[in-house]
Structure 1
C-alpha cells in the first residue's frame, strides 16, 4: 500500500495534478499540519484548528487536488525541527502567499523582520507597515496568519507587554516566546 501511495504521489507531481501537498509534524506545541504548493509553504495549522477542516478549506479556496506528499515538505519539516531544537532563528523557505492579500499581506511580510528573541507591539507593527492607526487590523492579520511560527506572529504582543490572543492558544504563544527567550 505504501509503495502504491508513493507511485501515485510521484505520478501526480510529474503530471502536475498535485496542487497542494501536505504532511504533519510533531512539535513541542503539538502536531502541526504543513501544506505547500509548488511555489512554497502555504499553510501551517495547529491541532486546535482541526487539520481536516483546514484541508477542506484549502480544497474550497485553492484546489481540491490535495495529496499527502511528505517529501515535498521535508525542507519545511527540517527547518521547523531546527527551530524547535534552538538551532535555527530564521526560516529560509519559499512562501506561497495565496491566502493573504492587501494590508494583511503587508503585516505578514513584516513579521520576519521582528528579530528572534524580540517582540513588537501591535501598534509598532501598524506603524512599520505604514498604517499607524490600523492597530486592530494588525491583530486581525496576526489572527489569520496562515503560516504561524514561520511568519512569527507570536512575536507581536500588546503595548503593555501582555500576550494577546494567538491562533494556537496562549500556551503555544508562551512556549514559542520562552523558546526564543523573548
Structure 2
C-alpha cells in the first residue's frame, strides 16, 4: 500500500512541476515577444458604427456630362468587350471579365449579359470608366465596386457556348465564344 501512495505522490508532484514550468515558459515568452494588441468588441463596434453613419450620394449623369474622373460619357463608338470567361462549369470559380476600352466612360446600367441557355444578368446602375473592368461572378455574394454577383446556385457558363453583352436597347455590344 505504501508503494502505491508513493507512486501517486510522485505522479502528482510531476504534474504540478510540469504545469508550473509551462506557465513560467509561457509568461517569459509573452514578455519577450508581445503579440499585436487585441481588437476589442468596442473598437470594432465603434468602427462599424462610424462606417455605417457615412452616406454615399449618387447622381444621374446625362449623356455628354462628365463623371467624377472628368471623363465624358460615351454613347457612340463604344469599345466594351468581354475579355474572358474563367472556369466555366465551376460555380465557385467562374466569372466573366468585361473591360471598357473606349476613349471615355460608358454607362452600362441596364445592359445585359446573356448565354445561349437564356440565363440573363442585368447590370445595376454603373459607369465603367476608360480602361475600367468589372467581374461578374456566377456565385452568390455581395456586390462591390469591381465585382458583381449573379446570385446563381448553379454554374452559368459551359465550354462551347457564346456569351453576349447587350446594351439597354438590345444591341449586341460584344460576344465571346468559350473554348
User: Shared fold (TM-score greater than 0.5)?
Assistant: no
Instruction: Answer 1 or 2: higher relative contact order, Cα 8 Å, separation at least 6.
Output: 1
Between Structure 1 and Structure 2, the one with more strand by share is 2
